[in-house]
Amino acid sequence: MANPWTGEAVLVLDGAEHRCKLTLGALAELEAALETGTLMELVERFEGGRFSTRDVLALLVAGLRGGGWQGRAADLLTVEIGGGPVEAARVAAELLARAFALPKGA
């Protein structure tokens, strides 16, 4: 179970739950992977619905690594993501939102 107060989300890979979290190190890795000027550009793309599958994949890899996962982006190409691409995008957006805001009701 994820703890939204610490920015966690859950992603299911091949039937197993993995905690994801955008730590400072994971955010730095994400920024380098996306080759964007700032993370705010990424936030704006998600808010505007202009994100790419590359954005989703990079966010998931960063979040998984922040949660302790030792895999690489290539590893996600061969796993079954619970809920498919729609759930992958939802978890990616949730991670990004939780990294920069308190949970609802805070």
Whether the CB-CB separation of 2 and 22 falls below 8 Å is answered with no
* Entry pTM: 0.86
Q: What pLDDT, in 10s, does the model give residues 25-52?
A: 888 888 887 766 677 888 888 888 888 8
* Residues contacting residue 10 through CB under 8 Å, at least 6 positions apart: 1, 2, 17, 18, 19, 20, 91
CB 59 within 8 A of CB 96: yes
Question: How many residues in total does the chain contain?
Answer: 106
Q: What is the pLDDT along the chain (106 residues), one digit of tens a residue?
A: 778 778 899 999 999 999 999 998 888 888 887 766 677 888 888 888 888 888 899 999 999 999 999 998 899 989 999 999 999 999 999 998 888 776 666 5
pLDDT at 103: 65
